[in-house]
């Protein structure tokens, strides 16, 4: 079975880049990416490639190559569904904010709506691919909706979770560690569907990196992979606090344990806490699934990863307050970085939001510079917490487009994202423009402490 037409529902951080690369590597397949959000689709279609809705290194080049040739961005969802033999579901699955499982379980509302829409529209057999991260056994629900509401056509469900990290998504797509495809390997139709998807990836991914499993293993692997990664960050962050109390140094610790090849050096960088759209959401989801199955110890075990992360964020904010003589009221604090990590404009669950909120509660004024995040986004992130009025947030959090301006006159600087450019600033000039004593709280341990101390800064790092 050869696929000629692909449809992807959801033109977000995952759907957009993934489909652009699939189209780039398979010039004979027509790929249509659809979304309900007309502004987002318009931005994907904008001729000036600078205004793509998401920032990802190398993305605009791939879009430039494939857009209009065999990748199309559109709001005509029904047509794209019916034209395609294979449909990817890549809509968001946020944590539920209401009802049973509120604050933990994944909200599958959009997934179900997609399934119903596919069933209603499809007049020929389809392969439906779960791209979004989903609780284990969601494919069963999708299959049931498709079979019970469809037009007597047949559907095969595959799970094909993404493992893209933002900032390196294009590289992760071009040379993935692995492609995971879950399907019903016990039936001929299932095997055929799996093979159709394997063929698409085989255009550029070596066979040995393409893994096929049953659907449930694939669904659960995605949650498990994120939980393991986040657990490492929470583990190193828990030790950072111990280092601060004992004179041990977290960077030295990370190096020493990371050289054990069984542990390895990655995801051992102490930080102000992990953020991003996936870790918290997916672990909470894992906790919820475990609880629902009566596995309380399993649930509590993974929940602790989140508790540690919350603790690390508030500990950082409390440390700023304590160091500034136990009061930040009326003081201004400069933030370098708002995104949840470097090389992305994504701010979902970024530690900076929570730290700003705590400091504003203490009546501090925050001045932020981030190379890629807009003032509008920062305000919307703060407003989402619902702590105070939108008007107050505008008053108390200011965004500057120039780092030197953002840091002028502040009492302290917090480094919250590891943007490389921060290392290259004229720190003497910044010091001269600040209130004294001038504090730097390096929440990412990226600056050279010795140089800064020579200039006269009081430097606080994580875990030393
Ligand atoms: C994805 C996955 O969906 C999520 O499960 C995974 O854990 C991370 O990656 P992401 O691409 O980051 O999410 O989400 P987002 O950027 O919000 O994109 C989702 C898009 O789907 C949005 O543009 C939204 O408008 C669209 N959408 C949502 C639809 O087109 N239809 C819907 O019914 C719901
Ligand atoms: C993650 C997974 O890595 C990816 O495989 C999955 O598909 C989606 O979720 P992402 O959220 O984009 O990707 O970013 P990641 O690089 O994993 O970082 C997550 C958070 O952990 C960031 O806030 C980052 O700064 C933090 N982190 C990471 C640390 O604090 N220390 C580390 O050593 C590594």
CB atoms inside a 10 Å sphere around CB 257 = 16
Pocket probe for ligand 1: among 59, 78, 89, 91, the residue whose CB has the most ligand atoms within 8 Å is: 91
Q: Which of 376, 373, 455 is nearest to 413 (CA)?
A: 455
What is the distance between the alpha carbons of residues 160 and 69, in angstroms, rounded to a whole number?
Answer: 25
Q: Residue 50's pLDDT is what? A: 83
- Ligand at shortest distance from the CA of 352: 2
* 269-305: pLDDT as tens digits: 999 999 999 999 999 999 999 999 999 999 999 999 9
Q: Residue 240's pLDDT is what?
A: 98
Given 222, 342, 367, 460, the catalytic residue? 222
Q: How confident is the model at residue 431 (pLDDT cuts 50, 70, 90)?
A: very high
Q: Which atom of ligand 1 is nearest to the CA of 222?
A: 7
Condensed to tens digits (0 to 9), the pLDDT of residues 340-349 reads 999 999 999 9
pLDDT at 46: 94
In three-state secondary structure terms, 156 is strand
Q: Is 222 a catalytic residue?
A: yes
Which pLDDT score is estimated for 48? Answer: 86
Residue 247 reports pLDDT greater than 90: yes
Which pTM does this prediction carry? 0.94
Q: Which ligand is nearest to the CA of 340?
A: 2
Task: Give the per-residue pLDDT at 1.
Answer: 84
d(CA 25, CA 413): 45
Q: Which residue, judged by its Cα, is nearest atom 12 of ligand 1? A: 13
Question: Mean pLDDT, the chain, as a whole number?
Answer: 97
Q: Which atom of ligand 1 is nearest to the CA of 109?
A: 33
Q: What is the mean pLDDT of residues 53-75?
A: 95
* pLDDT average, residue stretch 129-144: 94
Which two three-digit tokens encode residue 97? 């904010």
- Percentage of the chain lying above the pLDDT 90 cut: 98
- The answer to whether the CB of 121 is under 6 A from ligand 2 is no
Radius of gyration of the chain (CA): 24
Continuous segment of H or E residues that includes residue 74: strand 71-74
What is the pLDDT at residue 25?
98
What per-residue confidence (pLDDT) applies to 18? 98
Q: Is 413 exposed, middle or buried (0-12, 13-18, 19+ CB in 10 A)?
A: buried
* Amino acid 345: pLDDT: 92
Q: Relative to the CA of 271, which ligand 2 atom is closest?
A: 30
What's the gap between Cα 114 and its chain centre?
A: 22
Does residue 49 register a pLDDT over 90?
no
Q: What is the pLDDT of residue 47?
A: 87
- Check residue 64 and give its pLDDT: 95
Sorting pLDDT into bands at 50, 70 and 90, what band is 254? Answer: very high
Q: What is the mean pLDDT of residues 103-124?
A: 96
Between the CA of 119 and the centroid of ligand 1 the distance, in Å, is 20
Q: Is the pLDDT of residue 378 over 90?
A: yes
- Cβ atoms of 406 and 372 within 8 Å: the answer is no
As a whole number, mean pLDDT of residues 37-53 equals 92
pLDDT of residue 51: 85
**How high is the pLDDT of residue 353?**
98
Full strand arrangement of the beta sheet holding 332-336: 397-399, 365-369, 332-336, 412-415, 439-442, 458-461
pLDDT tens by residue, 169-212: 999 999 999 999 999 999 999 999 999 999 999 999 999 999 99
């Amino acid at each position: 079975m050869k696929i000629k037409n692909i449809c992807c529902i959801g033109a977000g951080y995952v759907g957009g880049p993934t489909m652009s690369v699939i189209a780039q590597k398979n010039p004979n397949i027509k790929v249509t990416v659809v979304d309900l959000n007309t502004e987002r689709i318009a931005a994907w279609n904008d001729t000036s490639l600078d205004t793509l809705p998401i920032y990802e290194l190398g993305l605009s080049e791939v879009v430039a190559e494939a857009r209009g040739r065999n990748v199309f961005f559109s709001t005509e969802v029904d047509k794209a569904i019916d034209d395609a033999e294979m449909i990817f579901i890549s809509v968001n699955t946020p944590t539920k904010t209401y009802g049973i499982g509120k604050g933990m379980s994944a909200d599958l509302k959009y997934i179900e709506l997609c399934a119903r829409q596919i069933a209603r529209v499809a007049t020929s057999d389809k392969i439906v691919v779960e791209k979004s991260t989903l609780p284990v056994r969601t494919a069963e629900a999708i299959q049931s909706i498709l079979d019970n509401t469809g037009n007597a056509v047949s559907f095969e469900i595959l799970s094909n979770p993404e493992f893209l990290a933002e900032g390196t998504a294009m590289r992760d797509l071009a040379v993935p560690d692995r492609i995971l495809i879950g399907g019903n390997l016990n039936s001929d139709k299932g095997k055929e569907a799996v093979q159709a998807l394997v063929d698409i990836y085989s255009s550029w991914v070596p066979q040995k990196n393409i893994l096929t499993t049953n659907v449930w293993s694939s669904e659960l692997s995605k949650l498990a992979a994120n939980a393991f990664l986040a657990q490492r960050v929470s583990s190193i962050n828990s030790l950072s606090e111990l280092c601060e109390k004992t004179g041990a140094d977290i960077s030295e610790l990370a190096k020493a344990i990371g050289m054990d090849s069984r542990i390895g050096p990655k995801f051992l960088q102490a930080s102000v806490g992990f953020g991003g759209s996936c870790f918290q959401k997916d672990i909470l989801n894992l906790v919820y699934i475990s609880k629902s199955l009566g596995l309380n110890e399993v649930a509590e075990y993974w929940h602790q990863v989140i508790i540690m992360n919350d603790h690390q964020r508030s500990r950082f904010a409390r440390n700023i307050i304590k160091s500034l003589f136990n009061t930040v009221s009326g003081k201004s604090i400069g933030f370098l970085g708002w995104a949840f990590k470097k090389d992305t404009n994504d701010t979902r669950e970024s530690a900076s939001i929570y730290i700003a909120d705590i400091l504003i509660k203490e009546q501090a004024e925050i001045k932020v510079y981030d190379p890629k995040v807009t003032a509008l986004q920062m305000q919307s992130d703060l407003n989402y917490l619902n702590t105070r009025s939108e008007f107050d947030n505008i008053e108390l959090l200011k965004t500057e487009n120039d780092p030197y301006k953002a840091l002028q006159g502040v009492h302290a600087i917090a480094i919250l994202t590891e943007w490389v450019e921060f290392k290259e600033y004229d720190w003497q000039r910044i010091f001269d423009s600040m209130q004294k004593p001038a504090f730097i709280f390096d929440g990412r341990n990226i600056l050279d402490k010795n140089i800064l101390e020579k200039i006269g800064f009081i430097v606080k790092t994580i875990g030393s």
